[in-house]
Amino acid sequence: MFKQFTKYVFPSVLAMFISSLYVIVDGIFVGKGVGDLALGAVNLILPLSISFFGIATMFAVGGGTLISSNFGRNKINEGVLIFRQAFKFLIILSFFLSLIGVVFAEKIVIILGATQNMADMAATYLRYYTLFCIPNIIGIALNSFIRNDGNPKLAMLSTILGALTNVLLDYIFIFIFQWGIKGAAIATGLGQLITISVILFHFILKKGHLSFKNVTLDFGIIKEFVKIGFPSFFAEITFSMIIFCMNIVLVKIGGETGLAAFSIINYLTTNIYMILLGLAFGVQPLISYNLGAKNPKAMISYYKMTIITSVVINFTFWAVCYIFGMKIIQFFSQNTEIIRMAYSGLNIINVAFFLVGINLATTIYYQSIGNPSSSNVICIMRSILFLPIILFILSKFLGINGIWISMIISELLTLGASGYFFKINISTYNAVKSI
Q: Is 115 left (phi over 0), alpha (psi -120 to 50) or beta?
A: beta
Q: How would residue 340 be classed by pLDDT, with cut points 50, 70 and 90?
A: very high
Q: What is the pLDDT of residue 242?
A: 74
Look up residue 132 and give its DSSP letter: T
SS (H, E, C) 24-45: HHHHHHHHHHCCHHHHHHHHHH
Which residue did the predictor score with more confidence, 258 or 322?
Answer: 322
- Among residues of the chain, what percentage have pLDDT more than 90? 41
Q: What is the pLDDT of residues 392-418, one digit of tens each?
A: 899 888 888 898 999 899 999 999 998
Q: Which amino acid is at 164?
A: L
Report the alpha-carbon distance of residue 24 to residue 22 in Å, rounded.
5
Count of CB atoms within 10 A of residue 321's CB?
23
User: Which pLDDT does position 18 carry in this prediction?
Assistant: 76
Least Cα distance to 263 among 118, 414, 398, 135 occurs for 118
Domain count of the chain?
1
The count of residues in the chain is: 435
- pLDDT level of residue 190 (50, 70, 90 thresholds): very high
CA distance 102 to 111: 15
- By mean pLDDT, which of 67-76, 239-248, 260-269, 345-354 is the weakest? 239-248
pLDDT at 435 over 80: no
How far CA 12 is from CA of 9, 69, 382, 388, in Å, comes to 5, 19, 25, 32
Q: How many Cβ atoms from other residues are within 10 Å of residue 317's Cβ?
A: 20
Owning domain of residue 71:
2-434
Say how far residue 416 (Cα) sits from the centre of its chain.
23
Q: Is the pLDDT of residue 231 over 80?
A: no
Phi-psi region of 205 (alpha: psi -120 to 50; beta: other; left: phi over 0): alpha
Q: pLDDT band for position 49 (50/70/90)? A: confident
Residue 261 near residue 126, CB atoms below 8 Å: no
Q: What span, in angstroms and rounded, lies between the C-alpha atoms of 173 and 169?
A: 6
Q: Cα separation of 178 and 423, whole Å?
A: 55
Sign, CA torsion 77/92/277/385: negative
**pLDDT on residue 329:** 92
User: Percent of the chain at pLDDT above 70?
Assistant: 100
**Nearest Cα residue to 185 out of 173, 197, 201, 199:** 173
Phi, psi for 74 (deg, rounded to 5) = 65, 30
Q: Which residues contact 125 (CB under 8 A, 6 or more apart)?
A: 41, 42, 45, 181, 182, 184, 185
pLDDT exceeds 90 at position 138: yes
- pLDDT in the model for residue 57: 83
CB burial of residue 385 (10 Å; 0-12, 13-18, 19+):
middle
Rg (CA), the chain: 21
Instruction: Give the max Cα distance, the chain.
Output: 60
Please, which residues have CB within 8 angstroms of residue 299's CB and are 6 or more apart in sequence?
A: 287, 290, 291, 369, 428, 432
* Closest among 348, 357, 350, 345 to 382, alpha carbons compared: 357
Q: Tell me which residue of 237, 425, 276, 250 sits closest to 345, measured CA to CA.
A: 250
Whether 212 and 84 have beta carbons less than 8 Å apart is answered as yes
402 vs 421: which has the higher pLDDT: 402
Neighbours of 173 (CB within 10 A): 22
> How do residues 60-107 score in pLDDT, each as one tens digit?
888 888 888 888 888 899 989 999 999 999 999 999 999 999 999 999
